[in-house]
């Protein structure tokens, strides 16, 4: 295991096999569930080192191109008083005159 490995990797347009996201050694994968109509387009991979110190709460929406991952620790994270860190992963696909996930909806 390389110490410089990233703790979190957010991928878009993920490689899938039978509607499941690919697995990578030393990482836990979180991705939206697939349906008959929607395949997951995003995934978040969390290194096992991080899983040992924080709780992960994934949140999936009614689409395969948007997800949120919340990291929680009873201790503060990032040398600050934050105990909860949220991360969005969006794959904004152009569809006609609009996008599947608008940046204006993600960034207040």
The pLDDT of 21-27, averaged and rounded, is 87
Quote the domain boundaries for residue 49: 8-106
Please count the structural domains in the chain: 1
The pLDDT of 62-87, averaged and rounded, is 85
pLDDT of 74 above 80: yes
Q: pTM for this structure?
A: 0.81
**pLDDT tens digits along 50-61:** 998 899 999 998
Q: For residue 3, tell me if it sits in a domain.
A: no
Is 8 within 8 Å of 50 (Cβ atoms)? yes
Is 43 within 8 Å of 19 (Cβ atoms)? no
pLDDT of 44 above 90: yes
pLDDT of 34 above 90: no
More confident: 99 or 36? 36
Q: For residue 1, tell me if it sits in a domain.
A: no
User: What's the pLDDT score for residue 98?
Assistant: 66
Q: For residue 85, tell me if it sits in a domain.
A: yes
Tokens 């490995």 sit at which residue? 5
More confident: 8 or 18? 8
Q: For residue 2, tell me if it sits in a domain.
A: no
């Amino acid at each position: 295991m390389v110490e410089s490995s990233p703790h979190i990797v957010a991928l878009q347009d993920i490689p899938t096999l039978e509607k499941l996201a690919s697995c990578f050694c030393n990482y836990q994968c979180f991705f939206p569930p697939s349906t008959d109509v929607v395949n997951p387009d995003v995934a978040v991979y969390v290194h096992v080192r991080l899983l040992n110190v924080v709780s992960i709460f994934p949140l999936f929406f009614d689409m395969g191109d948007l997800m949120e991952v919340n990291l929680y620790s009873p201790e503060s994270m990032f040398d600050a008083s934050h105990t909860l860190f949220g991360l969005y992963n969006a794959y904004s696909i152009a569809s006609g005159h609009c996008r599947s996930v608008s940046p204006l909806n993600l960034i207040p």
